[in-house]
Structure 1
Amino acid sequence: MATIGERVVSLRKRSGMSQAELAAISGVSASLIRKLEQGSRSDVRLETARKIAAALRVPTTAIFTDHATDEADAETIDRWQAVRRALHGLGDQPEEAPTVDGLRAALDASMPLWKDDRYAELATTVPKLLTDADMLAAADRSTRFLRVRVLHLTGWLLTQTRQFEAAELALRRGIDEADDRLEAAAIVSTRCWLLLRQGRLDEARQLAMAWADDVEPRISRATPRELSAWGWLLLRSSAASVRDNRPGEAEDAIRLARTAAVAISRDISPDDDFLRTFGPITVAMKRAENAMVEDRPDLVLRMSQAIPADDLLPTSNNRNRHLLDVADAHRRTRQYGEAFEVLRRIRQDSPEWIVTQGYAKDILKGVIAGRRTLTGDMRDLADFVRLDY
């Protein structure tokens, strides 16, 4: 099987480009392209691959030979070991048998931890939730809906912390056990996000569109649950398409998502489930994200002016992801101070989240490279996110 570098060489030669021309058109450094082609670099970030593919006028998936394997580091894997053990049914058994009311109460009490990305506390809470949910479902199948909910949350968390294999297990189990079609669709949406993070763009796009076609509602009669499920699947399809250099498909999907958002009229969380929060602001943020993928920072900054920048935004995760796009747009337009201020705000609001974000580190590297001297706050943030200079 051809390596990434071999595919780049082949596609570049077929296009009639030199390495220097490919670098100039794609915006990727000639040294990186040379290292890829020579085999001294065997990996590349999804965004870099997209730029090279766009310059060569091929789908991004024409460059990838397999999905990304950028899993969590050893420290992160160790932190979440108890969660993975519980997911495999190896968690510590409680002294007293769990009850439905008890698990409901524990799950409700844990919600602030999920919403605010409080990973240290979740690392001790989630194993207990998984074990209790398993015990209840084994004794009474009618309680499986609680296990489905816990599995969805766990899969989302593991995806966020780049533990992709375990996340796949949790999400597949949740989809298989879900009795409610819209509940299953919400979990599928999260699985599409997992596929996106792995670089499995074509799989994500096809899975999202297949389910979107299946759950498409009649807009005039649709409930918020139906609109959220359909809308999120369309957003995942759009995200996969734009990264795979399919701009027409990306725009079609996000236009339909906007139709669903307008029908809802405001961002809401069906069934009080923050993972399903959907509405006009969510779609606006994803439009900005697509523009950033297409390397249109000026457009991102204009679009961000119409997006509220306070805690009324849909979820901390989506809000922070949008703010990273804003920070990167500032960086790419050489507004380094503004870019840093956005990163500093994210650290203040979500310190555990920003440490896990390779995107945030890349932006900060760009800020540092663009400045002659660094402030003490900049050096402090670089140390905090463990930036490798």
Structure 2
Amino acid sequence: MTIIRWTGLEVAALRTALRDTQVQFADRIGCSLEAVGEWERRGVDITLGAKYSECMDTTHRRLDDEERARFDAALQKGRTEFASVSAQLSGVPTFCLRSPAVMIRPSGEGVSDSSHGDSHDDGISALRRMLMGYIPDVPPSRQSEIAATVASAWHLFFSARLGEMEQALPAALAGAYSAAEEATGERRRQIHVLLAQLLHAASNLLGYVAHTDLAALAIFRADSLTAESGDELTRAAIRGSQSWLLTKSGLYDDAVACAEDAAAEIEPRLSTATARHIAIWGELLCYAAFAASRTGDYREARQFLRLCESAGMLLDDEYSSRPEASNAFGRTSAASFGVINEIGANRPREALKLAAVITSGDAGIPPTLLSRRLVNVAQAQIGNRDDAGAVDTLRRACSMAPEFVRHIPLAHALTDELLSRRGNLLTNGIGGVAEHLGSFE
């Protein structure tokens, strides 16, 4: 059987045929563990790029007869299950435009709808409507109120309270959109910047809860608003998240270019630059390093990280006082992304040396960031055959940000890997982590 298009279904079947764990399969293909988890989780909703499709083709050609039989059986099972789910969902709309009852178009023209839809739509559905251009006709928020909601949204994100953030954002965005509609001149420009910052927050939320396409739409709208407003630094901060989304989607070269170009455009004179300027520049370099490591160019990633380290040394350790609400770049950021890079380079011991910087200097780092970093530390510990340490690290990450960690594919992949080692008594306690993570959607 020749595979014309490699999707997550075919990837899962190939791994089943080889009887690999996700860790073993990632090593075999030369990709990240997170990528394998993302492909399998999204199934037919994701198509691999040329580079990894070629790797899959090569691996598939090398299957022996027994492995090929397992591949065909696993693929048939996956397609049957997908067809069954699709049949159950046929006729069910993705979202409904009947609620709220009164909507406005982006131009401000009213659209009446006398029907009364479900008034209890969840936050994601409401965000989807607004990103599609259907904004509730609500009273405009004052500029000071919008600024406060920007700070609040990012506080909820960094505090790992994603459920609260999901419920708060739709109303905040609706009020900001209404304010932008009636504002003129300089006030309109300022509100557009605040609206872009809210959309930026929404994009980060959506990216983490597996609505990557909606996240991309939100970040596109945010980037457009800041480009029009001429706010160079806010736009640079937004482009950092754009690079992260490109990396998350497997578009690694584009992600490097996005972050590197944005960093070059705002490169500061470190002796005189503001803390905000340095923090945004440093975070862009972190994202460039992250994407470069995913391409396998670990040397380039280390070059970016050396610049990150220089920027971090100019900032204090108190994250809560950052002048950019979306930014938590600091002294330990380079080490954090360095862990990811060294894991990718198959140097777990070097990764653990950098991890010591993170775990010893975590004062003030927001729960969202620290829990995410700890998951990477656990991956390095597994690579260094310290399963017990990895279990303890994952448990710490779960206790620190219980809601947030459930949305990290790598946490699920590492837990599955540890659970598969049933004969190893050192993995006692991983069952509690698995129970906490539950099903991942």
Give the TM-score normalised by the residue count of structure 1.
0.77
Q: Would the aligned equivalents of 1:269 and 1:276 in 2 still touch at CA under 8 Å?
A: no
List per-residue Cα deviations over 1:165-185 (Å, max 9, x = no partner). Answer: 111111111111113101100
SS in 2 for 1:273: coil
Find out whether 1:117 has 2:160 as its counterpart.
Answer: yes
One-letter code aligned to 2:165:
L
In the alignment, does 2:133 pair up with 1:81? no
Q: Identify the match of residue 139 of structure 1 among 179, 182, 185.
A: 182
Root mean square deviation, CA, Å:
3.4
1:150 aligns with 2:172: no
**Residue identity in the other structure for 2:52:** F
CA distance in 2, matches of 1:370, 1:293: 22
1:101 maps to 2:144: yes
Corresponding position: 1:276 with 2:327:
yes
Q: Do the aligned partners of 1:331 and 1:366 also contact (CA within 8 Å) in 2?
A: no
Q: Which amino acid aligns with 2:346?
A: D
- The alpha-carbon deviation at position 353 of structure 1 amounts to 0.9
Q: In the alignment, which residue of structure 1 is the partner of 2:342?
A: 291
Q: 1:263 to 1:139 in 2, by over 3 A?
A: same
1:257: how far off? 1.7
Once the 2 structures are TM-superposed, how far is the Cα of residue 223 of structure 1 from its aligned partner? 1.7
Q: What amino acid is aligned across from residue 157 of structure 2 in structure 1?
A: W
Q: Which residue of 2 aligns with 1:185?
A: 236
1:381 corresponds to 2:433: yes
State the shift of 1:187 in Å. Answer: 0.2
Superposed displacement of residue 383, structure 1: 2.7
CA shift in 2, pair 1:81/1:318, >3 Å: same
1:198 Cα deviation from its structure 2 partner? 0.7
1:346 maps to a residue whose letter is A
Task: Name the amino acid aligned to 2:215.
Answer: A
In 2, the alpha carbon distance for the partners of 1:221 and 1:184 equals 21
Does the 8 Å CA contact 1:274/1:315 hold for their aligned counterparts?
A: no
- Residue of structure 2 in register with 1:128 after alignment: 171
- 8 A Cα contact 1:258 1:283, kept in partner: yes
Q: How many residues align?
A: 342
- Greater shift, 197-206 or 335-344, is seen at 335-344
Q: What residue is the counterpart of 2:51 in the other structure?
A: 63
Q: Which runs of 5+ in 1 are unaligned?
A: 6-19, 34-42, 50-59, 67-73
Question: Matches of 1:119 and 1:251 in 2, distance apart?
Answer: 32
Give the equivalent residue in structure 2 for 1:341: 392
The verdict on how the C-alpha distance between 1:280 and 1:112 changes in structure 2, with shifts beyond 3 A counting, is: closer
- CA distances 1:325-367 after superposition (whole Å, capped 9, x unpaired): 1111222233222211111111111111111111001111121
Query: What stretches of structure 2 of length at least 5 have no aligned partner?
Result: 8-17, 38-47, 55-88, 90-94, 96-121
Write the distance in 2 (CA, Å) between the matches of 1:170 and 1:30: 31
Partner of 1:214: 265
8 Å CA contact retained: 2:309, 2:334: yes
Q: Note if contact 1:281-1:307 (Cα within 8 Å) is conserved in structure 2.
A: yes
Q: CA deviation at 1:319?
A: 1.4
3-state DSSP of counterpart to 2:413: helix
The 1-side partners of 2:413 and 2:127 are apart by 29
Deviations, residues 290-329 of structure 1 (Å, cap 9, x unaligned):
1122222222222222324575253333212210111112
Alpha-carbon distance in 2 for matches of 1:31, 1:254:
24
Q: 1:313 to 1:367 in 2, by over 3 A?
A: farther
Highest CA radius of gyration, 1 or 2? 2
- Alignment pair present for 1:252 and 2:295: no
Correspondence 1:163 to 2:211: yes
Cα drift, residue 126 of structure 1: 0.7
Contact 1:212 1:233 in 2 (8 A): yes
1:306 is aligned to: 357
Kindly tell me: are residues 128 and 30 of structure 1, through their superposed partners in 2, closer, same or farther at Cα, counting changes over 3 Å?
A: closer
**Aligned pair in 2 of structure 1 residues 252, 105: CA closer, same or farther (>3 Å)?**
closer
Contact persistence 1:225–1:270 (CA under 8 A): no
**1:237-273 deviation digits (Å, cap 9, x = unpaired):** 1111111011221122111222222233546567533
Moved over 6 A (4+): 30-33, 373-376
Partner of 2:402: 351
Sort the Cα spacing of 1:304 and 1:214 in 2 relative to 1 into closer, same or farther, 3 A: same
8 Å CA contact retained: 1:4, 1:63: no
Kept after mapping to 2: 8 A contact 1:152/1:174:
yes
| CA distance, structure 2, for counterparts of residue 46 and residue 336 of structure 1 | 19
